[in-house]
Amino acid sequence: MHSLPLADIQLTDTFWSRWQNLLLDVTLPTQFTQLVETGRLSNFEKAAAKAGEFEGLWFNDSDIYKFAEACAYALTIREAPKVRECLNTVIQKIQAAQEPDGYINTYFQLGHPDMKWRNLNMMHEMYCGGHLIEAGVAVFECLGDRRLLDVSIRFADHVASVFGPGKRLGYCGHEEIELALLELSRVTGNATYRDLARWMVESRGSRPSPYEAELLDPDACSLWPGTGSLLVRDGHYIGEYSQDHAPIRDHTQVVGHAVRAMYFYIAAAELADGTSDEALEAALVRCWDNLTQKRMYVTGGIGPSASNEGFTADYDLPNLSAYAETCASCGLVFWGRKMLELTGNSEYADIVERALYNGVLSGISLSGDHYFYANPLESRGTHKRTPWFFCACCPPNIARLIGSLDRYVASVSDDRFYIHIPTGFRCQTTIADSKAGIEVESDYPWSGKVIIRFKLDVPVRFKLFLRIPEWSENMEVDLPGADEPADYDNGYAVYDRTWAPSDVLKVDFGMNPVWVEANPKVRENLGRVALSNGPLIYTAEECDLGFAPQLFAANTDATITVGKTSGLPGLQTLTVEGFAEIEDDEEALYPSEGSIACREVSARFVPYYAWNNRGANSMQVWVRKA
């Protein structure tokens, strides 16, 4: 299966349309201002002029590229002159900065021209170049503009002239170029890029690692003096930080830097797709299962630790100190889509949905111009989204994901049409060699009621694969002539029939608020519950409760009421019953047991993604169970 081209599908629901309009009107214009004001864009001007000092972090070029990619996607939603102008400016600056041999990285061009490709593990040259390629492919495919694609091809050819079989053994510490080379190969039809990507994926984890030589090179280490601290344990190189600990087929669990891991496995999944490489697919499934069954927050956040921006141990999921970088959840969504395409199993779509509606979306404010880097599941009032970061990987990453959301809701494959996420959309595509229009009308994620309309010129026989969400306990279907699916396949209800030109399928997934518990091995959450409704995880904020949610204990037997709040227009809230300690009367540090008074309270919960939009205040996802 494969996603539809972005030009062939439009999101029409009120939920995601709002985010996509915000992307065009607020998010991208304000990000462009940040790219200019922080010197990211002028680094390219300086590189073109071969004069001036590099400003910022050594991988800042990647923010420009991800921004360009996001603009390309966004302009398939609708025309926006301001965004088109920003994109055009960026493309021109990038073109001008590229060196004649195809190399482009403004940090090295301006400050270290003699040190190119010397510290692959930490200096992100191929990582930045990978984002250049992704942008080049996006601008070409979405807008028919090949200027950035040509820059990308020259860069990729330069990389291929230095690295590869019979040349230098080397691959980037921060994976990204592998998946980008696969995209470039798909678009250009040039197998060289695919072969290079495969070689990079399969070389990683071999011994001796090329990074071991870098650690012995004082000049290479001087580029990033902290290199050794993340790569060496007890005097030995270990490689986990960069997934360089073992060859891909021997991987059993996710380790190291979370974003690096996600990008690596995206490329590996793409390489496994369409082949019968069972060992590679098995390794990917092992790592995915380890991640989603033992190392993922209920919000789809991943990578609990700030110290390595990544993974620690199974079931180590602290709430208050959760790192759960926005980029890591974006990466989980990207990888989940590839695994879904590889296996056809709805479990991957379940995780994509969980991350999208929770851990990804919490990374951006409802106003579209403030961001979280870390996405904790508890706050004592010290967290606050900001307009930008010194290390600003997350804002353009979430922008490119929101711009390309349409890729995640549906797929097509020969005589099959898949609906993965039943959000409102309309599309024009070809199924079973016939043109077909399909429209989904829904109020997702606020309601599980969905209407699917078929717009066909003539009757067409094809299979509709409708994902049964993991949270759906009672799915009801109204389809004249066939109330039951023909079959169930990998978590999808399959309707195999000759569809009439104006058939209508009505579905009710039975969305109801429910409490969930964590596996007791997650010690942090013992005696605690989290509230969910359909794809959304809910959370309690002090501004709704009138007291810190840490004081609240939920009565999980009480009725849960669906409502709204004027502070968050358009959102559904859930009001639950419970108890709260009264803290005002108690002055002793250790009073005797039973002396702290409690009162019965109602508590309004809001969707997790929407927290922290009414000022900094205390928040808790996993509340105590009364």
**Interface residues toward Zn ion, by CB under 5 A:** 325, 327, 393-394
- In DSSP terms, 513 is beta-bridged to 533
Closest to 40 (Cα-Cα) out of 102, 94, 83: 94
Complex with Zn ion: residue 62 or 423, whichever CB lies closer = 62
CA distance linking residue 132 with residue 94, whole number of Å: 9
Distance CA 10, CA 425 (A): 6
Closest CA to 513 of 531, 539, 493: 531
- For 245, how many CA atoms within 13 A lie in the half-sphere containing its CB? 18
Q: Are 467 and 421 in contact (CB under 8 A)?
A: yes
Cα-based distances in Å from 172 to 39, 115, 169, 203, 454: 25, 15, 11, 11, 46
Q: Which of 148, 123, 122, 143 is nearest to 65 (CA)?
A: 148
Residue type, 180: A
Q: Report residue 74: phi and psi, to 5°.
A: -60, -35
Residue type, 91: I
Q: How far apart are CA 490 and CA 350, in angstroms?
A: 12
Report how far residue 322's alpha carbon sits from residue 304's, in angstroms, rounded to the nearest whole number.
5
- CA dihedral (114, 120, 123, 124) positive or negative: positive
Minimum distance between the CB of residue 363 and Zn ion, rounded to whole angstroms? Answer: 8
**C-beta closer to Zn ion: residue 339 or 393:** 393
CA dist., res. 514 & res. 554, Å (int): 12
CB of 395 to Zn ion, least distance (A): 8
Supply φ then ψ for residue 318, to 5 degrees: -65, 145
Amino acid at 187: V
| 122/349 with CB nearer Zn ion | 122
Give least dist CB 327 to Zn ion, A. Answer: 3
> Which one, 61 or 141, has the nearer CB to Zn ion?
61
Give the residue at shortest CB distance from Zn ion.
327
Which residue number, 109 or 326, has a Cβ lying nearer to Zn ion? Answer: 326
Q: How far is CA 415 from CA 2, 139, 431, in A?
A: 12, 29, 5
Residue 147's contacts (CB-CB under 8 Å, 6 or more residues apart) are 91, 95, 139
- Residue pair 199/165 in contact by the 8 Å Cβ criterion: yes
- Residues with Cβ within 8 Å of 37's Cβ and at least 6 positions away in sequence, in order, are none
Please say which residue, 62 or 105, places its beta carbon nearer to Zn ion: 62
CB of 104 to Zn ion, least distance (A): 22
| The pair of three-digit structure tokens given for residue 533, joined into one six-digit string | 């409704």
Provide, rounded to whole angstroms, the least separation between the CB of residue 611 and Zn ion: 19
Q: How far is the CB of 598 from Zn ion (least distance, A)?
A: 41
Report yes or no: 205 and 244 within 8 Å, Cβ to Cβ.
yes
Closest by Cα among 197, 198, 303 to 259: 303
- By the 10 Å C-beta count (0-12 exposed, 13-18 middle, 19+ buried), 99 is classed as middle
CA distance 513 to 604: 13
CB under 8 Å to 260, separation ≥6 — which residues?
Answer: 173, 174, 175, 241, 242, 243, 310
Q: For residue 375, give the H/E element and its range.
A: none
Buried-state track 390-404, b at ≥16 Cβ within 10 A, e below 16: eebbbbbbbbbbbbb
Omega before 5 cis (within 30°)? no
